[in-house]
Amino acid sequence: MSQRDLVAELRAAHLTAPPGLRERVRLISVEGQPAPRRITWRRALAVAVPVAAAVAATIVFTRPTHQANRDQALERLAPATVHGSAASVPAPTERAAKAFTVPTAPDRAQQVGATLGLRVATAGAVSDAVKRALAITASLGGYPLSVHAQSHGKTAAAMLTLKVPRTHVSEAITRLSALGSIRQEHVDVTDKQAGLNTTDRLIARLQRQLTTLRAQPTTATTTAQIAALVARIEQLQRGEAATRRATHYATIQLSVATPQPTVATHHGHGRLHGVVIALTWLGIGAVYALAIGVPVLLVLAAAWFAVRMVRRRREDALLG
Amino acid sequence: MTFAQAAEAHLDDVYGYLTWFTSDRFTAEDLTGVTFERALRLWHRFDPDRGSARTWLCQVARTVALDHFRSEKRRTRREQLAAAPEAVDPRFGEGLSAELESALARLTPGEREVVALRVLLDLDAGAAARVLGISSTNCTTRLNRALKKLEEALNVAA
């Protein structure tokens, strides 16, 4: 029998499914209509996109702003300045002129320092601001420690170091802040009371020793010890007095200046500079993606081929 | 095309393919039922652009048959320890000579399935290769080998 005859005979084979099987398949196809998939990719997308948008909107609109962060930080820092021995309070600009209070404790010896940077429109305004600052300082019982002023064309700047009684430092800063628009403001409060208390106790102890020595018979040794103790006590008392004087006055560094003339900066970049930078970063990203992705793809492809080969061999063994 | 239409149109083809593949009509009946149950569950995956419903149903039938062969192999291995497996009298269809039935029974399931797909169902080489998961060339080679084996068996019988 030739292969053509063989194929013809094979094709002539008649195979019909038995009626029982036909009925069973009919029942499967009629009664068992598949339930539509509850989660399709379109439905998943229809849910996922609004959810992602809502999450993004929540993050964007509920994120605290930079200003709010700074205010919160200031609120957190303020109590520490009262109770701590030393703290620095960066005061918010612009708002300070309206309500500024230096967190000091009047019954404790505290060293207060403040830096205030103001900007005024013209060189003449700088001169006026210096005059008014000196007047404010004098009216509060303070005095200027140093005044430096300079002008060049339409620009001018002045730097003043003012000493103001500590009890009036808040008022001084408030009034000085009103002389121009605030560009910089900084307050330092350092508590010296603990150090003074220690010095007081040390002086008292030394004085008791001095009294004891004076009660003893006078000898060359006791005389030398008394002289040393007296010198030590005087030194401590001078230091203590200097500290109290320093804490009586607050030091305010006031700078007043006109805006610097803006100079147009030209970096020599053309209109396509941004595009070039973007393409550069895209290129860098592509190189990284290739360096990482190609080996991963090769490994995955090798794994896929291996699995396929093993499956084929098993199938052949099963059907062979 | 709905699933019901596809099932009605290609039931005989699937049944015939499975009969030749398994060389057992009763097993083929069971596997055909399982095939259409599974096909009904997977019908949403059927894409007419990628192939005909008949090809797709044959792919499902082949997977079902392979599962059957695997479980049969495990079962036979277990049962051979107790008793010899029961011999099955293969019948591949009406109108075939006894010599041809016998020759077909001597082919391996792998050889019979390629003959069933290419000759009985008259699938082209590409469609048959897609069902078998091999290349068209490989499919043609397998068919030629199977037909040659059949021819030799028939010549020996004659």
**pLDDT tens digits for range A235-277:** 999 998 888 888 888 899 999 998 876 665 556 677 788 889 9
Mean pLDDT of chain B: 87
Q: Which residues are bridge partners to A185 per DSSP?
A: A116
Whether the Cβ atoms of residue A143 and residue A170 lie closer than 8 Å to each other: no
Q: Do B66 and A318 touch (CB under 8 A)?
A: yes
Residues in chain A closer than 8 A to B109 (CB atoms): 318-319
Whether the Cβ atoms of residue B85 and residue B76 lie closer than 8 Å to each other: yes
Quote the minimal CA–CA distance from A45 to chain B in Å.
19
Quote the minimal CA–CA distance from B63 to chain A in Å.
11
Q: How far apart are CA B41 and CA B18, in angstroms?
A: 20
Q: How far apart are CA A256 and CA B18, in angstroms?
A: 97
Quote the minimal CA–CA distance from A298 to chain B in Å.
22
Nearest Cβ partner of B151 from A6, A12, A320?
A6
Q: How far apart are CA A212 and CA A229, in angstroms?
A: 12
To 10 degrees, the CA torsion angle through A225, A227, A232, A233?
A: 110
Residue A153 is given by DSSP the state T
Residue B61 burial (CB < 10 Å; 0-12/13-18/19+)?
buried
| Domains delineated in chain B | 3-157 (1.20.140.160)
**Quick one: pLDDT at residue A85?**
38
**Quick one: pLDDT at residue A135?**
93
The percent helix, strand, coil of chain B (3-state, each to 5) is: 75, 0, 20
Whether the Cβ atoms of residue B6 and residue B98 lie closer than 8 Å to each other: no
- Which pLDDT band holds residue B88 (cuts at 50, 70, 90)? low
> Which among B120, B109, B122, B107 has a CA at the least distance from the CA of B153?
B107
Q: B116-137: per-residue pLDDT in tens?
A: 999 888 899 999 999 998 899 9
Q: What is the pTM of this model?
A: 0.49
Q: Do A29 and B122 touch (CB under 8 A)?
A: no
Q: What is the DSSP string of A231-278?
A: HHHHHHHHHHHHHHHHHHEEEEEEEEEPPPPP--------TTHHHHHH
Residue B47 burial (CB < 10 Å; 0-12/13-18/19+)?
exposed
Q: How far apart are CA A50 and CA A21, in angstroms?
A: 49
B37 to chain A: closest CA residue: A28
Q: Is A172 helix (H, G, I), strand (E, B) or coil?
A: helix
Whether the Cβ atoms of residue A190 and residue A103 lie closer than 8 Å to each other: no
Pairing label, strands A110-119, A155-165? unpaired
> Which among A116, A97, A270 has a CA at the least distance from the CA of A178?
A97
> Which ipTM score applies to this complex?
0.83
Instruction: Extract the residue ranges of chain A whose pLDDT is less than 70.
Output: 1, 32-38, 61-104, 261-268
Q: A170-211: per-residue pLDDT in tens?
A: 888 888 888 888 888 888 888 888 888 999 999 999 999 889
